[in-house]
Structure formats: C-alpha cells, structure tokens
Structure 1
Amino acid sequence: MVDYRNYTVWKKAHALVLDIYKTTRNLPSEEKFNLISQMNRAALSVPTNIVEGCGRETQKEFLRFLHISSGSAFELEYLILVCRDLKFIDIETSEELMRQIAEIKRMLFSLIQKIKSDL
C-alpha cells in the first residue's frame, strides 16, 4: 500500500479537479445534469482511481485503476472540447485545461509503463 499523496500525478489531478469545478460553475444552469455533472465526475475519477489503486494489495490491481484514471482523463478532454465548441468556455480556459490533462495523461502513461516493467 502506497500513500497516494506521494504521487505528483495525483497532486496534479487533484488541482485539475479544483479547476474543473471552478470552470463548471460558469456553465449554463440547464447543463447541470448533463455537461456539468459529467465533467465533474470525469475529473473526480482521475485522482479518485489513483487513490483507490493505492489502497489495493497488488501492483496489478493498482495498474487496473491507473488505466481507469487514464480513461477518465481522455473523457474529460473530450468534454472540454464540447464545451469550447458550444462556446460555454473560452479558448484560453480550454487550452489551459487541455494542457493540464495532457500532462496528467503523460504522467499516468509513464507510471503505468514503470509498474508494468516491475511486474
């Protein structure tokens, strides 16, 4: 069992959650049960799955949760694209969020590769 707070990728994913929540506060209220909910859940899923994986007994289980976390990052990336195309968020905000997600995806990929090589 590893302390998830020691992972830089978790710290960055947690910061992303905070940024997504700030961003979704400004989306149209009619999107409350659609885009807002979906974006918040996808964002929360990234660090939450890292945390859950850290609590598992084996590295193989941890790896499974890192893959889920990565999938949620890809989902969130698309939801931001939709919001930008619908003009719910501006280009600068979307680019900054996409930059954060790209970094998290790279870090997750590297961590997954490292764990795989250790198995």
Structure 2
Amino acid sequence: MINFKTLQIWERSHKIVLKVYALTNSFPNTENFGLTSQIRRSAVSVPSNIAEGCGRNSDGELSRFVTIAMGSSAELEYQNILSKDLGYISENDFNQLNQEIVEVRKMMNSFLDKVNKRKRTRKNLLLSLSFLIIISTFLYIYK
C-alpha cells in the first residue's frame, strides 16, 4: 500500500477540488442539483479514486483506480468548458483550471505507466522463479 498523501497527483488533484468548490459557489442556484453537483462530484472523484487505489493491496487495483481517476478528470475538463460557455466562470478561471486538470492528467498517465511497468516486472519475476522451480524439480527427479 502507498500513502496517497505523499503523491503529487493526489495533492494537486485535491487542490483542484478546492478550486472547483470555490468557483462553483458563484454558480446560479438553479444549478445546485445540476452542473454544480456534477462538476463537484467529478472533481472529488479524482483524488478519491487515487486514495482508494493506494489503499488496495495490488498494483492491478491501483492501476484500475488511477484509470478511473483519469476518466473523471476528462469529465471535469468537459464540465469546465461547459461552465465557461454558460458564462458561469471567467476565461481566466477557465484557463487556469483547465491547465491544472491537463497537467494532473499527464502526471496520472506517467504514474500509471510506472505502476504498470512495476506490475509487469513483478509478473516476469514470478514467471522466472516458477520456471526455475520446475527445472530444479525436473532435474532432481530425473538425476
């Protein structure tokens, strides 16, 4: 298990959540159960899935949850575009948030590559050890 609080991808995605909450406070009340709720849920989903993946016991599950977080960040990116197009956020706020979302998604992709490489390395090691055990057993039996 990895302590999610030590990961930059979690820390930066958490800051995005705080920014999204601050920005959506000024959304119209008519959006409370619409876009406001949806964009907040998408934003919260990113660091939540990173944290959940870190709490699991395998690289496979960590990889799966980071992949889900990446999907949520794409959803958040679209909702950011929609918020700007509806006039709920300024061009400047849009650009800042969009840049942060894209950067964190790139970081998650890099992190995912490292996790998957580590997963493949472990799998190859296990296969090699299994092969050595089989060969050793064969040689012992047929001496």
Shift of 1:59: 0.5
Task: Provide the TM-score with structure 1 as the length reference.
Answer: 0.99
Q: Distance in 1 between matches of 2:88 and 2:55?
A: 37
Structural RMSD (CA): 0.5
Aligned length: 119
> Highest relative contact order (Cα 8 Å, sep 6+), 1 or 2?
1
The residue number in structure 2 matching 1:48 is 48
Shift of 1:118: 1.1
Task: Provide the TM-score with structure 2 as the length reference.
Answer: 0.82
Shift of 1:69: 0.3
The residue number in structure 1 matching 2:58 is 58
The residue number in structure 2 matching 1:90 is 90
Shift of 1:82: 0.4
Amino acid at match of 1:74: A
The residue number in structure 1 matching 2:29 is 29
Tell me the secondary structure at the aligned position of residue 88 of structure 1.
coil
Shift of 1:10: 0.4
Q: Distance in 1 between matches of 2:72 and 2:8?
A: 18
Amino acid at match of 1:114: K
Amino acid at match of 2:104: I
The residue number in structure 2 matching 1:77 is 77
Q: Give 4+ residue runs of structure 1 displaced > 4 Å after superposition.
A: none
Amino acid at match of 2:20: I
Unaligned runs of 5+ in 1: none
Structure label with greater radius of gyration: 2
Percent identical across equivalent pairs? Answer: 37
Q: Distance in 1 between matches of 2:24 and 2:69?
A: 20
The residue number in structure 1 matching 2:127 is none
Tell me the secondary structure at the aligned position of residue 2 of structure 1.
coil
